[in-house]
Structure 1
């Protein structure tokens, strides 16, 4: 009897793992299709086809990305990218991807004009298709680009706990952010780095003003976005942020923290 029960539980666990792995692979494939459309039809059309109807991009303020790119003038520029990392909520219909991108003024150019790392949150639509809900990229010098190997996030060891909206928004505006070892930190002009590898502790004098948020249906992952300001030696830096969160140890913790300053 005990052996039968144990085998049944093991089978359920394996089926759940397979379901999650398949959903995560499906999400990564959606990102690859998005990038392939950019090469085939141009990046404006790619965003039109792969953003949700209410999907946001930062230009520099948060704006409807589908409308922005649909109305943009035709461009010969080539924007390429690929996912280096992806994770998914236990609801299997909400997740995020991140990876390097490169920009050329024309496809035939040998020189890369711009580069950076993107952060995109995806939501599965009623028709079963993955669409981008919000997207923000940081930028750095093209010579900092390096080849990344795709790594899907491992499945959580324990059943994810649920977080609350109140708890999320409280954490979002704290000057000292709830990082953990694997938090990916994006900063303008620099290649993203994990918190465990930072040399200088991230500034604790940043002030955040939330403009929006969304939780996965399972309430185990979320994103927040808004404005930030930070005193610097050259004056006050202002810009926009996008953060991705996961419930770890019963609390909301940052898994990705992106700050993009406004251009002066």
Structure 2
């Protein structure tokens, strides 16, 4: 079962404003995520979600849907708990993501991993994208890592046309990745993933590191096809994400479709590499 994470409409209550405060640091984003989890434990899902998302938030339940639409009919459950173990924030301080384990203690206890993308508006963190990936009860210990941005840079006069041009670079990168996958198979991932990449895939605990990721892909996949439906990029120009549908042909002569969220990081050579890849369950 997916982590029930994103929300309806941003609340203007004092508690929500304090909990979501952004000062451009990874620490502030981790606090927003943990405060979100604590608020859900105290007040329930629907109430917590009313504080931490806005009208643009998409949740994958399992397919992407507006958080306001999804949670309008959900109860105020307190069954979900989670905690971030890895987080990154852009050098512009306005964009970041967290990931970590969740537990659903509903009718039957289930486990998994989540990834949430956050954006800052009026110095408050709000959810932008959220997805969860189920797996069995975890066996491996996971260390936490919350690196702060190496520097701080936010363009003062960035306009919509410039933002669109930046997004075109991200979508072009993913178009190139998709074409390379078609030509060379899953070996193509080797040129597009970071040494510290994190893979979230149903049934598996997080697969961390380029060598482990490539071994996983090569052992299971024969073909991967991406269909990008959306993208977003930090104003700092160092982090971005895409989302859409991915069709996976297994070596066992089976095809399966997933919703995906990919997070990219800009490298010193100006190329964009994947640092997080989420393959979330999909319904067709």
TM-score (norm 2): 0.75
Partner residue, 1:228 = 246
The equivalent residue for 1:9 is: none
Structure 2 CA distance for partners of 1:251 and 1:103, relative to 1, 3 Å: same
2:233 matched residue in structure 1: 215
Q: How far 1:192 sits from its partner (Å)?
A: 0.8
Q: How far off its partner does 1:159 sit?
A: 8.2
Distance 1:45 1:167, change over 3 A: same
Task: Tell me, yes or no, if the aligned pair for 2:133 and 2:281 is still in contact at 8 Å.
Answer: no
Q: Which residue of 1 aligns with 2:278?
A: 258
Whether 2:145 is the aligned partner of 1:151: answer: yes
* Worse overlay, 195-204 or 133-142: 195-204
Once the two structures are TM-superposed, the CA of residue 155 in structure 1 deviates from its matched residue by 3.8
Q: Distance in 1 between matches of 2:200 and 2:29?
A: 22
Give the root-mean-square deviation of aligned CA atoms: 2.7
Structure 1 ranges of 4+ moved more than 3 A? 145-149, 154-160
Determine helix, strand or coil for the equivalent of 1:164: helix
Corresponding position of 1:129: 124
- Between the aligned partners of 1:21 and 1:248, the Cα distance in structure 2 is 24
Residue 158 of structure 2: aligned partner: none
TM superposition shift of 1:171: 2.4
What is the match of residue 83 of structure 1?
Answer: 84
* Structure 2 counterparts to residues 1-264 of structure 1, below 5 A: 23-72=25-74, 74=75, 76-105=77-106, 113-126=109-122, 128-142=123-137, 144=138, 146-156=140-150, 164-173=166-175, 174=177, 175=181, 176-177=188-189, 178-198=192-212, 200-202=215-217, 203=221, 205-232=223-250, 233-249=252-268, 250-262=270-282
Match of 1:180, SS?
strand
Structure 2, gaps ≥5 residues long: 1-21, 155-162, 182-187
CA contact (8 A) 2:41 2:78 kept: no
Assess if the C-alpha contact under 8 Å between 1:179 and 1:195 holds in 2: no
Are residues 236 and 22 of structure 1, via their aligned partners in 2, closer, same or farther at CA, if it must alter by over 3 Å?
A: closer
**Larger RCO: 1 or 2 (CA < 8 Å, sep 6+):** 2
CA shift at 1:100, angstroms?
0.6
Cα contact 1:115–1:145 (8 A) shared by 2? no
Whose Rg is larger?
1
Structure 1 alignment gaps of length 5 or more: 1-19, 107-111
Normalised TM-score (structure 1):
0.80
1:101–1:207: structure 2 CA closer, same or farther, 3 Å change rule? same
Q: Report the 3-state secondary structure (helix = DSSP H, G, I; strand = E; otherwise coil) of the residue aligned with 1:242.
A: strand
Q: Which moved more, 1:236-245 or 1:62-71?
A: 62-71
The CA distance in 1 between the partners of 2:222 and 2:49, in whole Å, is 35
